[in-house]
A and B are shown apart, each in its own frame.
Chain A
Amino acid sequence: EIVLTQSPATLSVSPGARATLSCRASQSVGSNLAWYQQKPGQAPSLLIYGASTRATGVPARFSGSGSGTEFTLTISSLQSEDFAVYYCQQSNVWPPLTFGGGTQVEIK
């Protein structure tokens, strides 16, 4: 089973600032990595798939990069609606499909 480790667990960022979230895989997942956003009391929503492709309707301030075992989600200028928990998920080796433990982005 591929283990995804997200860091940091919590990220405190000021509105308008840049946020960089990390996801590390226990073995290579190629580019088969997705990112999700989950706001309190809501279902997750897909942000990025294929490591760097934005899902339909996702603002351009969200970008994904990386391949192999190291991945990054960058939010270029945090808006109030971006404060949420972010999860990475791999689909290269399955079952099982696995998620990281999440990074909470909070207001500084």
Chain B
Amino acid sequence: EVQLVESGGGLVQPGGSLRLSCAASGFTFSSYWMHWVRQAPGKGLVWVSRINSDGSSTNYADSVKGRFTTSRDSAKNTLYLQMNSLRAEDTAVYYCARGGGVTMLEFDSWGQGTLVTVFS
């Protein structure tokens, strides 16, 4: 069974940093693209980032480019999201998701999410 378990969320002040982790199991982690998607309280889904299967290529939403970095450790089957220079508008539940479907650009498995709250 595919499992994705996020951790690392919490309260942080504007300008601060957090690192989210997503532990993967039940599938060959190194074969899949992985994504981060976020959802502000009461709002819709927003794609944040994508990393390819070997970690050599990444893409980001414009709203986080230059502040967030996604990486992966295939030895630990873990995906990361390093978030720097956090802003109030980054407050959201952050989900990691496996790239599936035909193109690995659909999200066929999701974690339960971890809440990041940026407050002053």
A residues engaging B (CB < 8 A)?
32, 34, 36, 38, 42-46, 49-50, 53, 55-56, 87, 89, 91, 94-102
B residues with a Cβ closer than 8 A to A are: 35, 44-47, 50, 59-62, 95, 100-103, 105-113
Task: Provide the residues of chain B in CB contact with A32, threshold 8 Å.
Answer: 103, 105
A29 CB to closest chain B CB, in angstroms?
11
Q: Are B44 and A43 in contact (CB under 8 A)?
A: no
For B111, what are the chain A residues with a Cβ–Cβ distance below 8 Å?
A: 43
Q: Is chain B's binding surface mostly helix, strand, loop or mixed?
A: strand
* Secondary structure of the A contact surface, majority rule: loop
> Are A87 and B101 in contact (CB-based, < 8 A)?
no
Q: Tell me whether A49 and B101 are in contact (CB under 8 A).
A: yes
Complex contacts, B110 vs chain A, CB 8 Å: 43-45
Contact partners of A53 in chain B: CB under 8 A:
101
